[in-house]
Every structure is written in C-alpha cells, then in structure tokens.
Amino acid sequence: MELHVQTLTELKAGLDRGDFSSVELTQAMQARIAQHGESLNAFITIMDDAALAAAQLADEKRAAGDGGVLNGLPIVHKDIFCTRDVLTTCGSRMLENFISPYDASVVERLSDAGAVVLGKSNMDEFAMGSSNETSYFGPVKNPWDLDRSPGGSSGGSAAAVAARLAPAATGTDTGGSIRQPAALTNTVGIKPTYGRVSRYGMIAFASSLDQAGVITRSAADAALLLGVMAGFDERDSTSVDHPVPDYVAGLEASLKGLRVGIVRQHFDSGLDHATGEAVREALQVLQAQGATLTEVDLPNLDYCVPTYYVVAPAECSSNMSRFDGVRFGRRADNPEDLLDLYSRSRGEGFGEEVKRRIMTGTYVLSAGYYDAYYLQAQKVRQLISDDFRKAFESVDVIAGPTTPTPAFKLGDKTDDPITMYLNDIYTIGANLAGLPAISAPCGMVQGLPVGLHLVGPHWAEESLLRTVHQYQSQTDWHRACPEAFR
C-alpha cells in the first residue's frame, strides 16, 4: 500500500515492523507536498532538510532500539506554533520574517517523542478567521473543491491531512478553528479541555479560549498524538496538572449505555437540511451501537456568538500589542517618530480582520463601555458554562453538526464578517465553557464532507475519542478521499 494513503496508526505499525524507514516515509510525504502543496497553498514553510535529518535520526534511534512513541512519524505544525530556528509567521505579514528562537511546548513534546516535522501550515492571520482567507500568504484551497474554503483558521493543517500530504497536523482552536476545518475537509479534529495542552509557544489570539489540538484522519490517530501533547507544563499557568489517560487504550470500550444529548436548537433554522440529515444518520449509528439519545437544552446557546465576539477581540486587542515594530517582526522603514513607527509598522503588518478585531476589542474594554460589553460578556459566558454543566448531569456527550453548511466558496463570505462569524455557531460554546470537543466525518452533501460534532464535560477527551473510534469502526466516511488526491 502506498505510504501516503495510510493513517498515522498504520504508518506507526509499518515502521515498527520495518516495512519502510522513516527516511523513506518522509521522502514519500515530501513528494506529495511537492506535487500538491502549491495548488492547495497549504504550507507557509516546507522543512525539507530538517525533516530528512530528523527522519535519519529517528531511523538511527529505531536501529538502536530507541525512540519515542512517535518515532519517525511525519507531522505538520500549524504556523502559530513557535519552532526554533524556523520561520513562524502566524499567517501574518507582521511576522513574515520572524525566526523563532525557541520551540513551543507542543513542538517540543512531539519532537521529543520522535515526530518528524514536514513543515508549517497556512492559517488565517493570527488564527482570526473561519475560511483561511485572512492569511497574508493567500487562502488555502479545499481539496474537495479547489474553489471552496477548507475552513479556518487551521485550514492549512486540515487541507494537508485531507489531501494526504501529511498523516496528521497540529492545530489551534479558539472558536472552532480545528473542528470547523476538520468538518469541511473530512478529517478528525479535536480541541481538548482548556488547560489540557500547554499554550506556551503558541502565539496567543484569545488566551482564555485558545487551545491546541490535532487534525488527523481517524480518532485512533488523534488519540496517539494527543497522548503525547497533553499534560501539565509549568511554563503555562493555565495548564492543569490532571492525569493524562492512555487515550489509545481507551478506544476499544463499547458505547453501550453512552448517553448522547441532542440540542434541539442545533437542528432549527440556519442548518442546511442535508447536513442535518447526515448528522441524524450518524446519531442512528451511535444508537445502534448501544448509545441512548435524549434531548438536552442549552438555553443561552444564541448568545454564544455575540459573547465570543466580545471576549475574543478584547483579549486579542491586548495580545496583539506586543507587535509594535520595536523588538521583532515588521518594522516600518524610516519612521519619523515613535507614533509613526507604531502606526505604520502595525498598519502595514496587520491585515483587515486582525485590525477589525483589535478595534472591536479596544472598544469593548474602553472606559465607559467595559461594563456593558466585556463584563456583561463574562457574565453570559458563565451562564453558558452553567448550561453545559447542567446538561452534563444527564448526558455524557452532546452531539450535533459541526457547521451549519458544508464548505462554502472562497470569496463568498469575505464581504460580510457577521455571516462568516456565524459559521462557528455550533463550535464556540465549547471554547467559552473550556470543554473538549471533536469533529468527525459523518457524510457527504453534493460531494462535500459533513462533520459530526461531539462536546464532552471537562477532561472527557477519552470518551469523545472512543465514541468517534467506535463510530468509525462501523462507518467509512473518514476513509473518503478527494479523487485528485488519492
């Protein structure tokens, strides 16, 4: 079997058996990237030499009976993770030439486990966007239809995995940035519990919402990677010292007795009919496997998007302040004075969407508006968390669609930020409440993938991964590959 069609778990077994070397595997992936990377615009940086060197080292370790659980397995990092001595742009002109002097915790952990980094994937600028169109390096194309968006902000990671240019990729999710592109590209995307994975070295967008996760082809692959990434990190005060279970070992338990909650509002207006049907069918599969379906209520669901678009820009406006042209990143030529240095460096360095959010965030934190916006949003955020907590008293997971529609055309929503924001209507709640959530392939609508969205209580990654894994043992949606990339 050709290497690129295999999942991460299959490749790991192949390496273990000695069917191929990590260098061979890496070269095979590099050939795929060379062939398709440009047409998809999935990468900002391709790390040919460094990847081969890492693969070589992995092979040597393996020969010596050494090496971590990911030894020799190729992956891709979203360009939001700082990678030592490698360009780290965050999809922005601001960091067009920024070579990070250090590795993010996520990068460090995966590398320590032996992963080989093929490159850095394209993304919405500073992770602000839902279509990958805000990237300074141009939009990523959806492998299922090159005229369509792969979603965002982790669009490059999702496209790379969907097109079999890499078996797995890291991503980050602030309002749906892993799950929405996973849904639109027929991949699996998991956003863990807030605090599960260290944020150190992950360039911040909205610190109280940002969480790192992975985009893979199967739940088993996600379990393998997440087990390495998860865990307490003393360099991130918001990471939590909570035991990390063996996610892979937890995949095999049956779904008998699993209580699945369905939110009625999720299937109301706004949801594409065929997408809803696909999700309902997936729920039938879960039921057939022994799960019970019950309706749950999230009364404040409608406030998720407005709450998010106060909290996230507020934090963003402050997080973006360090990009001032003084110490790193873009600096305007020949500034007249300090103000000119600031305004031109930032004016030139940031794109429109980032500026819009900085403006919004600055406004909601301003004297006289703070109480009405920021403080109010924090209160509503608490209500939303409370809704989830109550719901999880009677169910184990909450299921629904990941997105209201399948992939939309590039350029379709760029003129109307609000319509774009509404794409994250089902995913944002998990970020506001800090809950783990996963999106998995569950159908096709006119040749475009549909995602099933599952949200669990805090630290329920294991149950989310198991639910998807069991579902994938009965279905083939996740194996579907766009024809041009088989």
Residues that bind other proteins (CB under 8 A): 81-82, 88, 90, 95, 98, 100-102, 104, 199-204, 206-208, 234-238, 314-315, 317-318, 320-324, 326-329, 338, 342, 362, 365-367, 370, 374
Closest CA to 438 of 482, 476, 471, 416: 471
Helices (H) and strands (E) in the chain, counts: 15, 11
Q: Looking at beta carbons only, is 195 or 429 nearer to other proteins? A: 195
Least gap, CB of 175 to other proteins (angstroms): 15
375: amino acid identity, one letter? L
Give the largest Cα separation in the chain, rounded: 70
Q: 229: exposed, middle or buried (C-beta count within 10 Å: 0-12, 13-18, 19+)?
A: buried
Kindly state the smallest distance separating residue 390's Cβ from other proteins, in Å.
24
> Rounded to the nearest 5°, which phi and psi values hold at 232?
-65, 145
Contact (Cβ atoms closer than 8 angstroms) between residue 124 and residue 152: yes
Query: Judging by beta carbons within 10 Å of its beta carbon (0-12, 13-18, 19+), is residue 71 exposed, middle or buried?
Result: buried
Q: Which amino acid is at 312?
A: A
Peptide bond into 130 cis (omega under 30): no
Give 2's strand partners: none
Closer residue to other proteins in complex, CB, 104/168: 104
Query: Which of residues 314 and 397 has its CB atom nearest to other proteins in the complex?
Result: 314
CB of 235 to other proteins, least distance (A): 6
C-alpha span between 65 and 58 (Å, rounded)? 10
Q: Are 150 and 141 in contact (CB under 8 A)?
A: yes
**Min CB(384)–other proteins separation in Å:** 17
CA distances from 373 to 210, 213, 261, 360, 433 (A): 20, 30, 31, 10, 18
CB of 202 to other proteins, least distance (A): 6
Cβ pair 395, 294 in contact under 8 A = yes
- Helix (H, G, I), strand (E, B), or coil: what is residue 72? coil
CB of 99 to other proteins, least distance (A): 11
- Smallest gap, in angstroms, from Cβ of residue 195 to other proteins? 10
Alpha carbon distance 53, 58 (integer Å): 9
| C-beta of 316 vs 465, nearer to other proteins | 316
Residue 219 vs 365, nearer CB to other proteins: 365
**Residue 82: alpha-carbon gap to chain centroid:** 16
Known catalytic residues? 78, 153, 177
Q: How far is the CB of 266 from other proteins (least distance, A)?
A: 28
Count CA within 13 A, CB hemisphere, residue 438: 32
Residue closer to other proteins (CB basis): 1 or 367:
367
DSSP string for 132-171: STT-TT-PPPBTTBTTB---SSSHHHHHHHHTTS-SEEEE
How many other β-carbons are positioned within 10 Å of the β-carbon of residue 400? 23
Q: Which residue type, as a one-letter code, is found at position 5?
A: V
Nearer of residues 6 and 239 to other proteins, judged by Cβ: 239
Question: Which one, 52 or 87, has the nearer CB to other proteins?
Answer: 87
Least distance from other proteins to the Cβ atom of residue 365, Å? 4
Q: Which is nearer to other proteins, 364 or 399 (CB)?
A: 364
The tokens for 27 are 């070269």
The secondary structure of 376-432 as a DSSP string is HHHHHHHHHHHHHHHHTTT-SEEEEESSSSSPPBTTSSTT-HHHHHGGGTTTHHHHH
